[in-house]
Amino acid sequence: MQKYYLAQVNISKLLAPIDSPLLADFVAQLDEINALAEKSKGFVWRLKGDNENATALRIFDDADIIINMSVWETIEDLKEFAFKTAHVGVMRERNKWFEKPSGAMLALWWIPHNYTPTPHDAKERLESINKNGSTPFAFTFKDVFLPIV
């Protein structure tokens, strides 16, 4: 039987350039939060650029959108990290650094355990949620689907 992992993408549109004073508090926390993720139960992989985070990667047409992608063994593992660790503090402060989203900013989907998701995959999943809502192809924490086997 095939084993599946949970892939996630979340995007944010910056209120100012990443190196601006407005974003300094956010940037100062990146290494700590990324290290916490990597040490968390169920963590498998995360998208990284040359600076060990993904903030310099420009995947979308809008250069002010930053991307975060990771893979987890289970949805429970991702929830534990996202909602019960220091990561929560960053989420509480997000309105200081990022625009209020006009569309989907998060997508979750199942991948075979030996597959590394791509930014293209992430864009497809976000577009799918914007067009179709949550489906087995792409969903949110609010509407979780099990892997299709």
All structural domains of the chain, each given as residue ranges with its CATH number in brackets, are 4-132 (3.30.70.100)
Q: How far is CA 89 from CA 41, 58, 102, 146, in A?
A: 19, 25, 22, 29
Chain centroid, CA 79 distance in Å: 12
Sheet holding 4-13, edge to edge: 43-46, 65-72, 4-13, 106-112
Tens of pLDDT, residues 61-89 = 888 999 999 999 999 999 999 999 999 99
Q: What's the DSSP call for residue 146?
A: P
pTM score: 0.93
SS3 state at 72: strand
The region that residue 51 occupies, defined by phi over 0 for left and psi between -120 and 50 for alpha, beta otherwise, is alpha
Are the CB atoms for 117 and 111 separated by under 8 Å?
A: yes
Q: 92 or 59: which carries more pLDDT confidence?
A: 92
User: What is the C-alpha to C-alpha distance for residues 67 and 53, in angstroms, rounded to an integer?
Assistant: 10
Give tens-digit pLDDT for 102-134. Answer: 899 999 999 999 999 999 999 999 999 999 999
The answer to whether residue 4 scores a pLDDT higher than 90 is yes
| Angstrom distance (rounded) from CA 22 to CA 4 | 39
